[in-house]
């Protein structure tokens, strides 16, 4: 116990370690590339819309979730492993493993911040270009519901992908583990969404760490918004992020304290309650929008 406290006191602060890990991620060429791709979509996607009106706005969060979230999963898994490899080569480790994990967790706020930036850009673009009045957006849905869909599907998904990467880096050590997890995650989300969303019980899809809320516009401009309570799903998604962070920290045996166990249990309970409420509270049915007049043939 004395040596643990000594390493914490003599090593760099959590803030300094987090800055180092954040800069490492920001300078990763692959992370820079996917950020540029996401910016490209944020700038040019609206101008591909018919009649200069942005459409399928509730589907846009898939862009940062896919490019930034999945890439961050792989990058943070590799960064977590490289951090430990560097530590093993040093005569004195910079703090405990738990403290290094906490620094990596803080670095995951960078992908989340990019997700927030994309969301704000989408709202600004929609405010300038004015979507059709029939579009599922502010005005046709409660404001809180729209924000919950945008934030859970974009920034929280980016955060969750990065945190899952830290979790993979800590617990899975077989070759190609990050790639296997990415493929499994994508397949699992697709199987959990495509068939269930169009069924008579669309809320059953909400167990997934990422869900779609919007079907996409048809030829006449109609679109379906799927059932469920996005606000409670937003809480559920945040709980998944918190659980991933806590499990990553738990890899350090010295960090397995009663307080950590109690916090994890509380996160699980809140997450399960939020998941149940996302399936039962509010409107659980799917609804189709009115046709857009200038798209009706």
- What domain range is 268 assigned to? 2-295
pLDDT band at 204; cut points 50, 70, 90: very high
**pLDDT in the model for residue 293:** 83
Cβ within 8 Å of residue 89, ≥6 positions away: none
**pLDDT in the model for residue 297:** 66
pLDDT band at 68; cut points 50, 70, 90: very high
**pLDDT in the model for residue 1:** 43
Q: Is the pLDDT of residue 52 over 70?
A: no
Compute CA distances 227 → 145, 224, 284, 285, 287, whole Å: 11, 9, 4, 4, 8
- Classify burial at 75, counting beta carbons within 10 Å of its beta carbon; exposed 0-12, middle 13-18, buried 19 or more: buried
State the average pLDDT over residues 108-114: 98
Q: Is the pLDDT of residue 8 over 80?
A: no
Mean pLDDT of the chain: 90
- The reply to whether the predicted model has a pTM over 0.85 is yes
Question: 3-state SS of the chain?
Answer: CHHHHHHHHHCCCHHHHHHHHHHHHHCCHHHHHHHHHHHHHHHHHHHHCHHHCCCCHHHCCHHHHHHHHHHHHHHHHHHHHHHHHHHHHCCCCCCCHHHHHHHHHHHCHHHHHHHHHHHHHHHHHHHHHCCCCCCCCECCECHHHHHHHHHHHCHHHHHHHHHHHHHHHHHCCCCCHHHHHHHHHHHHHHHHHHHHHCCCCHHHHHHCCCCCCECCCCCCCCCEECCCCHHHHHHHHHHHHHHHHHHHHHCCHHHCCHHHHHHHHHHHHHHHHHHHHHHHCCCCCCEECCCCHHHCC
Residue with tokens 């929280």: 156
More confident residue, 151 or 53: 151
State the average pLDDT over residues 80-109: 80
The total of structural domains in the chain comes to 1
Q: Is the pLDDT of residue 235 over 90?
A: yes
Q: Report CA Rg, the chain.
A: 21
**pLDDT in the model for residue 288:** 93
**pLDDT in the model for residue 11:** 63
**pLDDT in the model for residue 88:** 56
Angstrom distance (rounded) from CA 153 to CA 37: 18
* φ, ψ for residue 288, nearest 5 deg: -105, 135
Q: Is the pLDDT of residue 185 over 90?
A: yes
Q: Is the pLDDT of residue 292 over 70?
A: yes
pLDDT band at 198; cut points 50, 70, 90: confident
Tens digits of residue pLDDT in 121-158:
999 989 988 899 999 999 999 999 999 999 999 999 99
Q: Is the pLDDT of residue 31 over 90?
A: yes
Contact predicate 145/59, CB 8 Å:
no
**pLDDT in the model for residue 44:** 75
Neighbours of 189 (CB within 10 A): 18
Q: Is the pLDDT of residue 6 over 60?
A: no
State the average pLDDT over residues 32-41: 92
**pLDDT in the model for residue 268:** 98
């Amino acid at each position: 116990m004395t040596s643990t406290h000594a390493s914490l006191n003599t090593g760099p602060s959590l803030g300094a370690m987090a800055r180092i890990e954040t800069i490492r991620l920001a300078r990763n060429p692959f992370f820079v590339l996917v950020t540029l791709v996401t910016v490209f979509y944020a700038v040019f996607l609206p101008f591909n819309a018919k009649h200069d009106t942005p459409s399928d706005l509730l589907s846009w969060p898939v862009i940062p979730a896919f490019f930034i979230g999945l890439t961050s999963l792989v990058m943070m898994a590799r960064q977590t492993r490289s951090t430990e490899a560097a530590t093993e080569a040093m005569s004195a480790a910079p703090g405990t493993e738990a403290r290094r994990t906490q620094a990596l967790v803080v670095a995951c706020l960078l992908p989340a911040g990019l997700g927030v930036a994309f969301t704000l850009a989408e709202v600004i673009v929609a405010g300038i270009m004015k979507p059709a009045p029939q579009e599922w957006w502010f005005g046709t849905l409660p404001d809180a519901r729209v924000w919950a869909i945008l934030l859970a599907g974009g920034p929280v998904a980016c955060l969750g992908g990065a945190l899952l990467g830290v979790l993979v880096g800590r617990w899975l050590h077989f070759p190609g583990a990050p790639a296997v997890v990415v493929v499994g995650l994508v397949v699992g989300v697709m199987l959990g969404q495509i068939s269930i969303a169009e069924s008579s019980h669309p809320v059953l899809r909400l167990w997934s760490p990422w869900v779609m809320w919007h079907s996409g516009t048809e030829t006449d401009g109609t679109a379906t918004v799927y059932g469920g309570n996005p606000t409670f799903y937003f809480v559920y998604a945040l709980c998944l992020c918190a659980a991933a962070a806590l499990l990553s920290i738990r890899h350090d045996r010295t960090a397995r304290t009663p307080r950590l166990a109690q916090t994890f249990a509380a996160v699980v309970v809140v997450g399960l309650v939020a998941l149940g409420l996302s399936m039962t509270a509010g409107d659980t049915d799917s609804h189709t929008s009115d046709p857009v007049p200038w798209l009706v043939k």
